[in-house]
Amino acid sequence: MKMQGQILKMLTELKTPVQYNLPMGDGLLNMNQWIGKNIQFRFSGDIFCLDCGNRTKKSFNQGFCYPCFRDSPMAAECIIKPELCRAHLGEGRDVEWERKHHLKDHYVYLAVSSGVKVGITRDTQVPTRWIDQGASYAVPIAKTPNRYLCGVIEVSLKTYLSDRTAWQRMLKNEIAHIDLAAKRDEIIQLIPEEYQQYVLSDEEVLHINFPVNEYPVKVKSLSFDKTPVIEGRLMGIKGQYLLFEGGQVLNMRKHQAYVLEFSADENESGIGVELSLDF
C-alpha cells in the first residue's frame, strides 16, 4: 500500500484503545491497522504553511511559515500562554478569529501523562487534548466562558503543579498512579476565591487506553529534517507519537504540513494490539 500527501496531526477517537487516523492529502490513513507491521515514511522535501499555504523551507510552531508564525492568530502567544489572551477585551491578531475560538467555554483540567499536570483546553477539544498529550487519565476542575480566565486560573496553580508533560516518561509509560479525584478535591481548594465560581467538583475521571504492543525502555526522537526516510516496525501509538521497535519515536504533530509518502505491505502478518491498562 502507498499513500502520499501533506499531513496534519493524527485524528483520534476515544475507544478502547484509542483509534488513530492520519490526514494525508485528501485521505485518511488508519494507523492502528499497522501496529506490529513494518512501515515507511518518506519526506518529499516540501512543507506548505498550514495558514497561507505557501511553500516554506522551515516549519515554525508545528506547521507555519515564518510570516504566519509572526502574524497569524493560530500562532499567537496566547495559544501557549492563555493568560495573555486579549479576546475578552476585543483585541488580538485577528479579532473575529479570537472571538470564535477564545470567547467560548474553556476547561482547566488535571491530567496524568507522567506526573500530575494542570492545563487548559477549549470545550470542543475534550478529550482530544488529553489524548494528544498521552494522558492516561484526566479530569476537568474548572469551566470558564473564555480563554483568559482559564489561563489566569492555570497560572495560579503553577505554584503547586507543573503545566508540562515529561514526554520521554510518558512514552515509556512511567506514569504516576494516583487518585485523581482526590487530587482534584485538594487542588480546587487552592484556586483563588474570585475564581471559585468556575470550579467543577464532581466531574468523572476519564481513563484513556492507547494501542501499544510494547513500550520502549529508552527513547530516541526522530525527525524528517535529519532523516528523510523513517521506517521500522510500529509497536504502538501514544499521544501524537508513533513508537517504533528499538525505542525510536516520531512526533507526527511536529511534522504537520510536511508532504510525506507512506508505504507498507498489507499482506505482512502483524502482532495483535495488546490492550494496555495504564491506570
Residues 120, 200 within the same domain = yes
* Domain shared by 112 and 225, yes or no: no
Assigned domain for 195 exists = yes
* 118, part of any domain: yes
pLDDT tens readout for residues 63-76? 999 999 999 999 99
User: What gap in Å lies between CA 138 and CA 52, rounded to an integer?
Assistant: 35
Q: How many separate domains does the chain show?
A: 2
In this prediction, residue 268 has a pLDDT band, given cuts at 50, 70 and 90, of confident
Q: Is residue 278 part of a domain?
A: no
Q: What pLDDT does residue 269 have?
A: 65
Q: How are beta strands 241-244 and 229-238 bridged, if at all?
A: antiparallel
Does 199 lie in the same domain as 84?
yes
Q: Examine the domain organization and report whether 25 and 128 are in the same domain.
A: no
Q: Are 75 and 173 found together in one domain?
A: yes
Nearest to 278 by CA among 203, 182, 204, 176: 176
Q: In this structure, are 75 and 125 located in the same domain?
A: yes
Mean pLDDT, the chain, integer: 94
198 & 153 share domain: yes
Q: Are residues 76 and 199 in the same domain?
A: yes
Q: Is residue 111 part of a domain?
A: yes
Task: List, for residues 154-172, the tens digit of each pLDDT value.
Answer: 999 999 999 888 999 999 9
Q: Which of 187, 206, 225 is the last residue of a domain?
A: 206
Whether the per-residue pLDDT at 277 is higher than 50: the answer is no
CA distance 259 to 182: 45
**19 and 98 together in one domain:** no
Q: Which domain holds residue 231?
A: 2-63+212-264
Same domain, residue pair 253 and 187: no
The β-bridge partners of 236 are 212, 243
